Amino acid sequence: MDLMRIVRSLEEFLYEVMTWLVFYPRTMWRSVRHPVEMLHYANRELQDQPDRRFADLLSPPLFLMITILLSHLIAVSAHQGAAVANTTVGKQIVASEWSMFVLRSMLFSVYPLMFAVSRLRRENLPLDRDTLRAPFFAQCYVAAPAAFVIGIGAILSRTAHLELQIAGLVVSLGAILWYITVEVIWLRSRGPVGRIAAIWSVCRTWLTASLINVLVIVLVLGI
């Protein structure tokens, strides 16, 4: 009986992983093509039964983690030097590719987290584990494409060629601009918010998340 349970678990695991080959590019395409609609889609799916959620796409956190993993693997395959760390914990982290992947996942996840918190505060909703789940899940859909492109831009910016460094900077700035634009459109779609007020609110949230990441990097890696 135990052996059959293990076999069935392996079957389900293999099937789940193989479906990523179909649903990951589909999720990425829709997140890039219709980012605002994906935010609405995540909110609708979370109102469904747990076993029926995200049946036709990857769940948002899984989508974000796979995207960051792909970006990390590209950076590793580019044979770029490991990050520099000046703290004991930081040296242990940079010595392990898995630890670096976990750190990158946490850093990029700060952005959907902060935008989710900002939405709850703006709508005067209580901040707890239940209310935070829906906006955080939704935000992962638009954070993933931006994270991937920013990761590619960071890889190009660390090369020895000036042209690629400039291209990396342009690519990263383009991804940030896309991300901020999507958030502004999303914010204005949820209520009567002026354009300037929406831009200021989104930029403030983005800068807050960026400052948190800088603080974490300084404290953990000692850079």
> Tens of pLDDT along 103-147?
889 999 999 999 999 999 988 888 888 899 999 999 999 999 999
> Tens of pLDDT along 134-187?
999 999 999 999 999 998 998 888 888 888 889 999 999 999 999 999 999 999
In the chain, what are the domain boundaries?
2-221
> Tens of pLDDT along 60-111?
999 999 999 999 888 888 765 556 667 777 777 777 788 888 888 999 999 9
Cβ contact 198:187 at 8 Å: yes
Count H helices, E strands: the chain? 8, 0
- pLDDT for 171 equals 94
- pLDDT for 114 equals 96
- pLDDT for 89 equals 77
Could you give the angle at the alpha carbon of 213 between the alpha carbons of 128 and 185, nearest 5°? 65
The pTM (predicted TM-score) of the whole model is 0.87
